[in-house]
Amino acid sequence: MKIRLLDYGGRCPERAHANDAGADVFSPRDAVIWPGEICKMPLGFGLLVPDGYAGFVFPKSGLSAQGIVCELPPVDSGYTGEIHAIISNVGNTAYEIKADDKIGQLMILPIVIPDFTYESWKERGTGAFGSTGR
Q: Are 89 and 36 in contact (CB under 8 A)?
A: yes
Judge contact between 87 and 38, C-beta under 8 A. Answer: yes
Query: Which pLDDT score, from 0 to 100, does residue 28 have?
Result: 96
**Assigned domain for 47 exists:** yes
DSSP 132: T
> Is residue 95 domain-resident?
yes
pLDDT tops 70 at residue 132: yes
Write out the residue range of the structural domain in which residue 17 sits: 4-110
State mean pLDDT over 67-71. 97
Residue 98 lies inside a defined structural domain of this protein: yes
Each residue's pLDDT tens digit, 86-125: 999 999 999 999 999 999 999 999 999 999 998 776 666 6
- Number of domains within the chain: 1
Positive or negative: CA dihedral 88, 43, 48, 19:
negative
Evaluate whether residue 116 is within a structural domain: no
pTM of the shown model: 0.85
In a domain, 121, yes or no: no
- Would you say residue 133 lies in a domain? no
User: Is residue 130 one of the residues assigned to a domain?
Assistant: no
Write the CA distances from 10 to 1, 89, 90, 103, integer angstroms.
22, 23, 27, 13
Residue 82 lies in a domain: yes
* pLDDT value at 134 more than 90: no
Tell me the CATH number at 10. 2.70.40.10
